[in-house]
Amino acid sequence: MRRLRNVKIVATLGPASNDYQMIRALFEAGADVFRLNMSHGSHEEIRERHAIIRQIEADTERPIAILADLQGPKLRCGVFAGDSEELLEGQKFRFDLDETPGDASRVCLPHQEIFQALKPGSTLLVNDGKIRVSVDACGEDFADCTVVVGGTISNRKGVNVPDVVLPVAALSEKDRRDLEFVCDLGVDWLALSFVQRPEDVLEARELAQERAAILSKIEKPAAVDAFAEILRVSDGIMVARGDLGVELPVHAVPPIQKRLIRGCRAAAKPVIVATQMLESMIESPVPTRAEVSDVAAAIYEGTDAVMLSAESAAGDFPIEAVTTMHNVAVEIESDPTYRSVIEASRGASHRGVAGGIVAAAREIAETADIKAICCFTHSGTTASLTARERPRVPIIALTPFAETARRLSLQWGVNCYLSGDVDRFKMAVVSAARAARKGEFASEGDQIVVTAGVPFNVPGTTNILRVAPCDERLIFTADPE
């Protein structure tokens, strides 16, 4: 089941995709990573979906990554005596800590930390930004506001505070319970919501204790401002365009997306572009032309993965949505313009021996008749550095660790295979040739590039490169020991 594309597809599971047959069909249609949304579903439902994915992995003999997406704190207003009120432009409105049901002049906002951070001139957004108010005066338990954009406000609608850093932890008590549950269950990636600063990521990393890689969701203006520091302490990034488009002007999101993708590629860390990619396919078997162009733009920009949310979790056409995304990726990657764009954005500097080795591997592969670059990796770093090069030939990552193979399933262009422990470079070459032949990347008479580190089984020692043949004589006469 070799994929005929490099960009990866993340599919969210939910009520429309919660049994073996459907999840297997999504995998065969092109899903590489399955997202478990901790905002929906009980722990028992999450456990069942996790078990199904691992069964499919065993049945297909292909590593599959599982991404658990933590909900994050939810900031919501209180309730109204009449369930809802209409706010008019220019009128005065108060948020406070009084739990009495609200009316047309006020409502409870049960988050004292918001009042602690507000200042005159701050903006509050209600109901996904449909209502906008400006703070005139505020204190420890109130905020007097003027309605800038009116609309209907109703019970427990979400509240966003775009222009201040809130003294709110990225992990709620629910998130802490969910994190422990999914780490014990055995997920590969943790997506962290409500990230505002690098300390939020470090807190999650300490709790995860290396049981899962940490992927930071960039969905707040504060996270955009602190992106370099957040990226440094994260294992990957998600461009969560939904909340970004609420808290920032919508026209600011595309350049931010492009900048975040380039930053992740320079750091050799995977990045997912998410939210509303094929939104209309929740109810339609075909997407809009604009949605197809949106997916294509992310692929042209060099993203590692594109994501489906409700389209695969709760939509009427989950398989069609994955198939469409797969077909768009195949078409874009076969376009000569894609290659020229990707290569023009390649960084010129390669720091360290490992960076130089993978750059040389890509250079050799593209100037000689090479069928694949095969890299042995323990931690996944060598494969990630190779993926950063965006070579024209397939990348084969060989590792003795299932956890590493699964995490690399999110990385651009990486095809993962489990190998036994290798202690000699000769057997590394033999294992690489076998994987290339098995995956139909190469055949008799073809050549591959093999990179590895000596001494073996020591992470971070990539220091050797060889061009090797895929001859049957080499493969089948090698000493298995």
Question: Of the listed 35, 362, 390, 406, which one is catalytic?
Answer: 35
Q: Among 246, 202, 201, 253, which Cα is nearest to 224's? A: 253
Mean pLDDT of 408-416: 97
d(CA 223, CA 189) in angstroms, rounded, equals 19
- What integer is the mean pLDDT of 101-105? 96
Cβ–Cβ < 8 Å for 116, 97: no
Q: Any catalytic annotation for residue 220? A: no
Give the separation between CA 237 and CA 249, rounded to whole angstroms.
21
The pair phi, psi for residue 266, each rounded to 5°, is -60, -30
Ramachandran sector of residue 190 (left: φ over 0; alpha: ψ -120 to 50; beta: rest): beta
**pLDDT tier, 425 (very low <50, low <70, confident <90, very high otherwise):** confident
Active site (annotated) includes residue 35 = yes
**Residue 22 banded pLDDT, cuts 50, 70, 90:** very high
Residue 304: which residues within 8 A CB-CB, separation 6 or more? 7, 8, 236, 264, 270, 271, 272, 387, 410, 411, 412
Catalytic site includes residue 76: yes
DSSP symbol at 193: P
Separation CA 368–CA 440 (nearest Å): 19
- Coil, strand or helix at 313: helix
Per-residue pLDDT for 477 more than 70? no
Q: Is the pLDDT of residue 277 over 70?
A: yes
Nearest residue to 465 via CA among 447, 450, 448: 450
Catalytic residue, from 24, 54, 76, 176: name it. Answer: 76
Least confident of 95-109, 143-157, 271-285, 415-429: 415-429
List 94, 106, 132, 217, catalytic entry: 217
**Structure confidence at residue 290 (pLDDT):** 97
Give the three-class secondary structure for 92: strand
> What is the average pLDDT across 270-284?
97
Contact 38, 48 (CB under 8 A): no
User: Which residues does residue 8 pair with via DSSP β-bridges, in sequence order?
Assistant: 305
Choice among 12, 123, 275, 399 that is catalytic: 275
Q: Which two tokens stand for residue 450?
A: 């093999």
Q: 217 an active-site residue?
A: yes
424 pLDDT tier (thresholds 50, 70, 90): confident
- Is the entire prediction scored with pTM above 0.85? yes
Q: Could you give all domains of the chain from N- to C-terminal order, each with its CATH number?
A: 8-73+169-337 (3.20.20.60), 84-160 (2.40.33.10), 352-477 (3.40.1380.20)
Whether residue 317 contacts residue 325, with contact meaning beta carbons closer than 8 Å, is answered with: no
Any bridge partners for residue 80, and if so which?
102
What burial letters (b/e) apply to 126-155, b meaning 16+ CB within 10 Å?
Answer: bbebebbbebeebeeebbbbebeebbebbe
Q: What is the mean pLDDT of residues 349-357?
A: 81
Q: 318-333 and 289-300 are packed helices; what angle lies between their axes, rounded to 10 degrees?
A: 50
- Euclidean distance between the first and the last CA atom of the chain, given in angstroms as a whole number: 29
- Do 394 and 372 contact (CB within 8 A), yes or no? yes
pLDDT confidence bin for 1, thresholds 50/70/90: low
Contact partners, residue 442, CB within 8 Å, separation at least 6: 371, 372, 433, 436, 448, 470
